[in-house]
């Protein structure tokens, strides 16, 4: 184990090949594309949360000059889709279940005509009762969001009941009996509002048919998922659909999954012209099946007087929204976060994913984690207070360490969580040095590593330059650029000599794309192997020329040399030129998926939500917060982060990920929350009213990495790092706010008004200090 | 749709006499049109390239700030920062550097939003709007100008050429303080401006106006009790109470009426305090929100 602490000035330079294009404006995003004869698309949305369609008449729209196609459910194949529970059609059929449900799509010669035609579509409906409140949705008397769900195709062992889409339980030991033996029992309720990924680029799609093949340029994080969605819904074979992703203006999970590519492809086919869709900011908030889920956490923990946790019971309700996006495993994920990285001998956590008439929920950066961690880590400070311990000492006593057993029976290999705690706390300094109305809040978090298949090709060209062809996707993080470094290191060349060919399903082998912190973890393993194949070929060529054994050849600094005799060497470019006239230097690899540990205690679709803890990523964040006691406005002044994410391969990228995750976490903590009206519709679907943090709000951030070589995970002992930094910040901010306010703020985001309101309450609920 | 680019005030007035509507930075008009609030007017006259509108002229008794002066100019102009500091405080909080570089004082005033940041400072500093047509000019007080949310008493052909503000006497200070949930790209949840003149250690005159708690910028009445005091705790409480009582806030996405009613008092109290300190000669940098309290840089 090593601890890495480097300042920004000391970080090695690393070239982001996509950087200059993006900064100078010469790069092309999907919305920048224009094709000959291209039309513009507009959707007609239901704009009502729950209703039965009584009339949908597109005839007036079809007759408008400049309109070349209007399509509805009647114009596409009869397919119910989405993973796990096939509860959805491309266009509304009979019943609409959230405001962003698409009734029809229009293609016209200008965006203005398309929007006017969409507005001219006659839509009449009979209102149905809106299911908006999460607890009310679970009542026996609640109206059903999906009345006929018996008829939906379901994959896996899904436990469901009325509006509960999936249920999962973590069970370890006899929690009730253990709870009865506790000296102190603390119960808390925490409620998190829904929030958004809010990428800076609203999504855009361009589709063009040539014969029976369609090419779709789209702002997706997951080109293969997008392709599979088009194939499934339009009933096309894989090799007739090609997805290309131009530069992507951020994703944060919001552009994962399959979204609107099929709608635009179907529209282009009907119009017999290329068609382009560009979302407005309002649509980007309202229509995608990706938002961060609202959540209720009821949590009870029993401890002994010496501060040892003996039992935990919890009940969770998670807002799935109207349709299944990818949230089926969220109950498992959320349960793991509410268990937390603690030694707890007896656990019973029941987690429900609940249908409502809201926008569907889906994987936004570290789904369920910021809210789950916020709840459990706020609760942990309450526990510490209840037994008279400091928050840090209570965690020292109860956190999991190397060799301990986690919530699902998995025993941990070497992990660095306790080291993260000590590093972050030490970095934050002494609480006695704090100013008035300031406090430090501590929180720990964890995040899984999702191991899935991925492939890569590599080729060294005649001049010694290298192309890596990967299904990885750049979504703003720069993680794909680490793939260049991995290939370069294998081949002993500079990363700048490696070009990535990516974001095109026709070129690259299958891979998960930019989702679930998998770029390095999964694509990295494939790239490493593909580059290694070329390295082996180079070593054999060099061995021939240098009269040595291939095993004695070292590739470094652009040359192949004999081990121990660096003077005996040959430039790789010379070998590459030789190969170009004979056996080409090509590598291809499919990275095998690491084995999952044996698990116990969950019932739900698959076990991805718990099994993926095979190489858990750990973190501790300490937030220094100041509160204006007169207004409740909180400001995060400093965040001290320490992370165990395995080996760090690209330090500057790693620091960037942590800093971005923290800033996003502060937004979730303080200002980012979706407000719903009684009608189930979003009230603040706009940048003015949905308040992201700005760079002016950014705190000073220190980041340290506890580097532990993690076998059987990512390349070179690495894990992912995209989501882990987004887990613990809101919880750390919560614990600092509670110290200053003297009260817990039990709803997320902890807005100024909520903080102020809590401070007006006279009784201290305990656990604040 | 047509747009004329004017290079002089006369060209602006001629175009408006013919029915054109003025556009300066477009930060309200264009953004509003793109958001579907109201379509762009059919006939526009661009006023952003009229040099005579972009000047600050300090006269013997008053200062004339051209309607085309941008927020970026206001926050750095020496005359504005020293004499009418509350306007600089407000200008520095508007939007982003991009908004401040194109958005103008005249545009902000004539847009007439009760959440406008420069409005309360103009009221407490006793500013008048100079409204001009091809037939001449007239001056109206800010309270006469604003008649409702987004509505002014100006006639369709009247163009706001300048804001004219009496030069403050010695020992005067002003400040604008705003409640903000984040430190950039923010809109006033509530805000308050104060202008104070001292006589020795005690207050000789004080005016306070409030942002975003009524259909228009609201001047707080009944502060006479402060005159002759040196603004300590009881007087601060009086300001806060008066502001809270006179405000008629709404509940919306940004805050509840109760929270607005409370925080407007806090802002009013702080605005007067900062204005007093400036009147005493203390250098509090612009904007107050970044110099003092929770929003402070350190």
Four-residue CA torsion sign, A450, A451, A454, A459: positive
Assigned fold of A30-128+200-250+256-286: Aldehyde Oxidoreductase; domain 3 (3.90.1170)
Chain A residues near residue B187 by CB distance under 8 angstroms: 688
Query: Which pLDDT belongs to residue A155?
Result: 81
Residue A156 predicted with pLDDT over 80: no
Residue A766 predicted with pLDDT over 50: no
What lies within 8 Å, CB to CB, of A122 at 6+ separation is A55, A56, A57, A58, A60
Query: Which pLDDT belongs to residue A594?
Result: 76
- Residues A171-201: pLDDT tens digits? 999 999 999 999 999 999 999 999 999 999 9
Q: Is B255 part of the contact surface with chain A (CB cutoff 8 Å)? A: yes
Query: Which pLDDT belongs to residue A108?
Result: 98
SS3 of residue A283 by DSSP: helix
Q: Is residue B209 part of a domain?
A: yes
Tokens of B274: 């900062």
- Complete DSSP assignment for A406-435: -TTSPBP-S--HHHHHHHHHHHH--GGG--
Indicate the number of domains in chain B.
2
Q: What ipTM was assigned to the predicted interfaces of this complex? A: 0.95
What lies within 8 Å, CB to CB, of A675 at 6+ separation is A193, A682, A683, A684, B253
Query: Which pLDDT belongs to residue A611?
Result: 61
From CA B146, how far away is CA B226, in angstroms rounded? Answer: 27
Strands A700-707 and A634-644: parallel
From CA B87, how far away is CA B124, in angstroms rounded? Answer: 10
Residue A4 predicted with pLDDT over 70: no
Q: Testing the interface with B: which of A637, A696, A736 to mutate, by most B Cβ within 10 A?
A: A696
Q: Which segments of chain A belong to CATH 3.90.1170.50?
A: 30-128+200-250+256-286
Q: Is residue B154 part of a domain?
A: no
* Residue A602 pLDDT class (50, 70, 90 cuts): low
Q: Is B259 part of the contact surface with chain A (CB cutoff 8 Å)? A: yes
Mean pLDDT of A504-522: 91
- Residues A70-116: pLDDT tens digits? 999 999 999 999 888 999 999 999 999 999 999 999 999 999 999 99
From CA A205, how far away is CA A40, in angstroms rounded? Answer: 10
Closest-CA distance of chain A to residue B181, Å: 7
Give me the architecture of the A295-450+598-760 domain, per CATH. 2-Layer Sandwich (3.30)
Residue A604 predicted with pLDDT over 60: no
Nearest-by-Cβ selection for B179 from A631, A675, A757 = A631
User: H helices of A218-347, where?
Assistant: 223-234, 261-271, 281-286, 330-339
Nearest-Cα residue of chain B relative to residue A438: B294
Domain of B241: which CATH number? 3.30.390.50
Mean pLDDT of A50-72: 98
> A753 and B255 in contact by Cβ < 8 A?
yes
Strands B62-66 and B159-166: antiparallel
**Total length of chain B:** 298
Query: Which pLDDT belongs to residue A659?
Result: 96
Query: Which pLDDT belongs to residue A768?
Result: 42
Q: Is residue B258 part of a domain?
A: yes
Q: Which segments of chain A belong to CATH 3.30.365.10?
A: 295-450+598-760, 454-591
> A695 and B184 in contact by Cβ < 8 A?
yes
Q: Is residue B276 part of a domain?
A: yes
> B183 and A626 in contact by Cβ < 8 A?
no
From CA B172, how far away is CA B166, in angstroms rounded? Answer: 12
Stretch 655-674 of chain A: residues touching chain B, C-beta under 8 Å: 670-671
Residue A394 dihedral angles phi and psi, to the nearest 5°? -60, -40
- Residues A551-595: pLDDT tens digits? 999 999 999 999 998 889 999 999 999 998 889 999 999 988 877
Strands A700-707 and A2-4: antiparallel
Tokens of A676: 């719903």
Q: Is B179 part of the contact surface with chain A (CB cutoff 8 Å)? A: yes
Four-residue CA torsion sign, A558, A560, A566, A570: negative
Query: Percentage of residues in chain B with pLDDT exceeding 90?
Result: 89
Residue A118 predicted with pLDDT over 50: yes
Closest-CA distance of chain A to residue B182, Å: 6
Nearest-Cα residue of chain B relative to residue A673: B253
Nearest-by-Cβ selection for A694 from B182, B266, B294 = B182
> A683 and B253 in contact by Cβ < 8 A?
yes
Q: Is residue B144 part of a domain?
A: no
Query: Which of B53, B70, B97 is the last residue before a domain boundary?
Result: B53
Residues A381 and A737 sit within 8 Å (Cβ to Cβ): no
Query: Which pLDDT belongs to residue A159?
Result: 79
Four-residue CA torsion sign, B229, B234, B238, B244: positive
SS3 of residue B290 by DSSP: helix
From CA A205, how far away is CA A263, in angstroms rounded? Answer: 10
Residues A467 and A501 sit within 8 Å (Cβ to Cβ): yes
> A693 and B263 in contact by Cβ < 8 A?
no
* Residue A769 pLDDT class (50, 70, 90 cuts): very low
Residue A513 dihedral angles phi and psi, to the nearest 5°? 80, -160
Q: Is B254 part of the contact surface with chain A (CB cutoff 8 Å)? A: yes
Q: Is A465 part of the contact surface with chain B (CB cutoff 8 Å)? A: no
Chain centre distance of CA B211: 9
Q: Is B184 part of the contact surface with chain A (CB cutoff 8 Å)? A: yes
Tokens of A384: 């510490």
> A689 and B181 in contact by Cβ < 8 A?
no
Query: Which pLDDT belongs to residue A480?
Result: 87
| Arithmetic mean of pLDDT over chain B | 94
Residues A587 and A458 sit within 8 Å (Cβ to Cβ): yes
Tokens of A353: 């994913």
> A631 and B184 in contact by Cβ < 8 A?
no
Q: Is residue B104 part of a domain?
A: no
- Residues A447-490: pLDDT tens digits? 998 888 999 999 999 999 999 999 999 888 888 889 999 999 99
* Residue A127 pLDDT class (50, 70, 90 cuts): very high
Chain B residues near residue A695 by CB distance under 8 angstroms: 184
Query: Which pLDDT belongs to residue A721?
Result: 94
From CA B99, how far away is CA A59, in angstroms rounded? Answer: 44
Residues A531 and A459 sit within 8 Å (Cβ to Cβ): no
Tokens of A255: 């552009």
Residue B298 predicted with pLDDT over 50: no
Domain of B25: which CATH number? 3.30.43
Closest-CA distance of chain B to residue A164, Å: 30
Tokens of A151: 């008829």
The beta strand positions in A597-745, using DSSP E, are 617-627, 634-644, 700-707
Stretch 694-753 of chain A: residues touching chain B, C-beta under 8 Å: 694-697, 751-753
Closest-CA distance of chain B to residue A689, Å: 7
Residue B228 predicted with pLDDT over 60: yes
> A633 and B253 in contact by Cβ < 8 A?
no
The beta strand positions in B13-158, using DSSP E, are 21-23, 43-46, 56-58, 62-66, 128-133, 136-141, 146-148, 151-152
Domain range for B198 is: 172-295
> B254 and A689 in contact by Cβ < 8 A?
yes
According to DSSP, residue A151 is labeled G
Q: Is B256 part of the contact surface with chain A (CB cutoff 8 Å)? A: yes
Q: Is residue B49 part of a domain?
A: yes
Residue B31 predicted with pLDDT over 90: no
Comparing A146-155, A728-737, B16-25, the range with the smallest average pLDDT is: A146-155
Tokens of A158: 């899904």
> A691 and B182 in contact by Cβ < 8 A?
yes
- Residues A210-257: pLDDT tens digits? 999 999 999 999 999 999 999 999 999 999 999 999 999 999 999 999
Residues B123 and B191 sit within 8 Å (Cβ to Cβ): no
Residue A129 dihedral angles phi and psi, to the nearest 5°? -60, 135
Give the residue from A109, A297, A268, A298 showing the smallest Cα distance to A187.
Answer: A298
From CA A148, how far away is CA A135, in angstroms rounded? Answer: 21
Residue A376 dihedral angles phi and psi, to the nearest 5°? -75, -35
Helix axes A524-546, A479-491, angle to 10 degrees: 20
SS3 of residue A191 by DSSP: strand
Q: Is residue B216 part of a domain?
A: yes
Four-residue CA torsion sign, A401, A403, A405, A408: positive
**CATH classification for the domain delimited by A454-591, as one of 3.90.1640.30, 3.20.170.30, 3.30.930.10, 3.30.365.10:** 3.30.365.10
Stretch 584-643 of chain A: residues touching chain B, C-beta under 8 Å: 626-628, 630-631, 633, 635
* Residue A411 pLDDT class (50, 70, 90 cuts): confident
Tokens of A119: 């507005």
Nearest-by-Cβ selection for B184 from A686, A688, A694 = A694
Query: Which pLDDT belongs to residue B197?
Result: 98
SS3 of residue A590 by DSSP: strand
Query: Which pLDDT belongs to residue B55?
Result: 97
| Arithmetic mean of pLDDT over chain A | 93
> B184 and A753 in contact by Cβ < 8 A?
no
Mean pLDDT of A695-707: 96
- Complete DSSP assignment for A464-503: S-EEEEES----SS-HHHHHHHHHHHHHTS-GGGEEEEES
Residues B188 and B121 sit within 8 Å (Cβ to Cβ): no
């Amino acid at each position: 184990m090593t601890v890495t602490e480097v300042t920004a000035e000391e970080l090695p330079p690393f070239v982001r090949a996509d950087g200059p294009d993006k900064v100078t404006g010469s790069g092309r995003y999907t919305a920048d594309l224009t094709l000959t004869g291209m039309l513009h698309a507009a959707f007609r949305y239901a704009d009502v949360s729950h209703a039965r369609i009584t009339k949908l008449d597109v005839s007036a729209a079809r007759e408008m000059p400049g309109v070349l196609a209007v399509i509805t459910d009647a114009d596409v194949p009869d397919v119910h889709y989405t993973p796990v529970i096939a509860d959805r059609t491309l266009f509304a059929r009979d019943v609409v279940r959230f405001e962003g449900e698409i009734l029809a799509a229009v293609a016209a010669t200008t965006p203005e005509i398309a929007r006017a035609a969409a507005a001219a579509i006659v839509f009449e409906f009979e209102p149905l009762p809106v299911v908006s409140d999460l607890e009310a949705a679970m009542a026996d008397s609640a109206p059903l969001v999906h009345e006929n769900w018996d008829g939906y195709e379901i994959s896996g062992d899904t436990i469901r009941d009325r509006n509960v889409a999936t249920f999962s339980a973590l069970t370890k030991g006899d929690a009730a009996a253990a709870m009865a033996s506790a000296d102190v029992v603390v119960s808390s309720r925490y409620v998190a509002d829904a929030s958004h990924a809010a990428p800076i680029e609203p999504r855009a799609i361009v589709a063009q048919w040539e014969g029976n093949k369609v090419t779709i340029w789209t702002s997706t994080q997951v080109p293969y998922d997008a392709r599979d969605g088009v194939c499934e819904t339009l009933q096309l074979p894989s090799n007739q659909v090609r997805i290309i992703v131009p530069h992507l203006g951020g994703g944060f999970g919001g552009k994962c999954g399959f979204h609107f590519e099929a709608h635009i492809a179907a529209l282009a086919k009907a119009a017999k012209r290329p068609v382009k869709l560009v979302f407005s900011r309002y649509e980007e908030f309202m229509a995608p099946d990706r938002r961060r889920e609202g959540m209720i956490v009821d949590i009870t923990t029993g401890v002994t007087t010496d501060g040892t946790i003996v039992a935990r019971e919890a009940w969770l309700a998670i807002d799935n929204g109207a349709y299944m996006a990818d949230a089926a495993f969220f109950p498992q994920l959320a349960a793991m976060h509410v268990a937390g990285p603690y030694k707890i001998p007896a656990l019973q956590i029941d987690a429900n994913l609940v249908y409502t008439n809201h926008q569907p929920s889906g994987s936004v950066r570290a789904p369920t984690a910021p809210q789950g961690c916020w709840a459990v880590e706020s609760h942990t400070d309450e526990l510490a207070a209840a037994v008279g311990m400091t928050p840090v000492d209570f965690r020292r006593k109860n956190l999991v360490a190397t060799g301990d057993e986690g919530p699902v029976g998995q025993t941990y290999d070497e992990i660095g969580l306790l080291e993260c705690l000590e590093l972050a706390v030490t970095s934050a300094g002494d609480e006695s040095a704090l100013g008035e109305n300031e406090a430090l809040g501590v929180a720990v978090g964890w995040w899984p590593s999702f191991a899935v298949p991925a492939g890569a090709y590599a080729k060294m060209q005649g001049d010694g330059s290298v192309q890596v062809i990967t299904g990885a996707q750049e979504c703003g993080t720069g993680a794909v650029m680490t793939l260049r470094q991995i290939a370069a290191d294998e081949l002993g060349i500079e990363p700048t000599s490696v070009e990535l060919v990516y974001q095109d399903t026709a070129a690259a082998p299958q891979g998960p794309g930019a989702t679930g912190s998998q770029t390095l973890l999964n694509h990295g393993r494939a790239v490493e192997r593909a580059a290694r194949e070329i390295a082996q070929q180079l070593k054999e060529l060099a061995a021939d020329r240098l009269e040595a054994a291939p095993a004695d050849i070292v590739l470094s600094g652009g040359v192949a040399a004999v081990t121990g005799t660096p003077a005996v060497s040959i430039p790789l470019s010379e070998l590459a030129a030789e190969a170009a006239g004979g056996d080409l230097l090509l590598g291809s690899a499919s990275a095998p998926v690491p084995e999952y540990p044996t698990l116990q205690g969950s019932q739900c679709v698959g076990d991805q939500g718990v099994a993926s803890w095979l190489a858990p990523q750990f973190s501790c964040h300490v937030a220094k917060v100041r509160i204006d006691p007169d207004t409740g406005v909180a400001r995060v002044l400093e965040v001290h982060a320490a992370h165990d994410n395995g080996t760090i391969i690209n330090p500057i990228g790693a620091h960037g990920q942590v800093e971005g995750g923290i800033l996003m976490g502060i937004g979730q903590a303080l200002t980012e929350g979706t407000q719903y009206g009684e009608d189930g519709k979003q009230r603040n679907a706009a940048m003015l009213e949905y308040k992201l943090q700005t760079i002016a709000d950014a705190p000073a951030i220190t980041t340290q990495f506890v580097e532990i070589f993690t076998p059987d995970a990512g390349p070179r002992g690495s894990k992912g790092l995209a989501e882990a930094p987004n887990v613990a910040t809101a919880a750390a901010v919560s614990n600092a706010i509670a110290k200053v306010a003297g009260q817990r703020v039990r709803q997320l985001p902890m807005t100024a008004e909520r903080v102020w309101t809590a401070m007006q309450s006279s009784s201290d609920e305990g656990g604040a200090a | 749709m047509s747009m004329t680019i004017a290079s002089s005030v006369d060209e602006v007035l001629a175009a408006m006499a013919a029915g054109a509507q003025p556009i300066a930075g477009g930060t309200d008009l264009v953004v509003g049109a793109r958001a579907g609030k109201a379509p762009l007017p059919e006939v526009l006259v661009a006023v952003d390239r009229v040099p005579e509108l972009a000047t600050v002229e300090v006269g013997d008794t008053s200062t004339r700030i051209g309607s085309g002066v941008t927020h970026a100019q206001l926050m750095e102009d020496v005359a504005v920062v020293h004499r009418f500091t509350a306007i600089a405080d407000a200008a520095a909080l508007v939007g982003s550097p991009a908004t401040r570089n194109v958005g103008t004082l005249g545009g902000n005033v004539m847009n007439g939003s009760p959440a406008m940041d420069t409005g309360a400072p103009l009221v407490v500093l006793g500013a008048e709007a100079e409204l001009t047509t091809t037939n001449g000019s007239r001056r109206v007080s800010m309270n006469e100008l604003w008649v409702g949310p987004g509505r002014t008493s100006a006639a369709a052909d009247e163009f706001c050429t300048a804001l004219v503000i009496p030069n403050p006497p010695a020992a005067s200070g002003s400040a604008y303080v705003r409640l903000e949930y984040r430190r950039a790209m923010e809109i006033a949840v509530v805000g308050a401006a104060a202008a104070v003149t001292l006589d020795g250690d005690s207050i000789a005159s004080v005016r306070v106006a409030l942002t975003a708690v009524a259909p228009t910028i609201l001047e707080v009445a009944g502060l006479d009790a402060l005159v002759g005091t040196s603004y300590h705790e009881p007087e601060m409480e009086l300001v806060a109470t008066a502001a809270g009582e006179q405000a008629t806030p709404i509940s919306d996405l940004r805050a509840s009426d109760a929270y607005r009613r409370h925080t407007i008092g806090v802002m009013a109290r702080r605005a007067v305090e900062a204005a007093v300190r400036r009147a005493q000669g203390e250098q509090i940098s612009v904007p107050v929100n970044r110099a003092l309290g929770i929003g402070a840089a350190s």
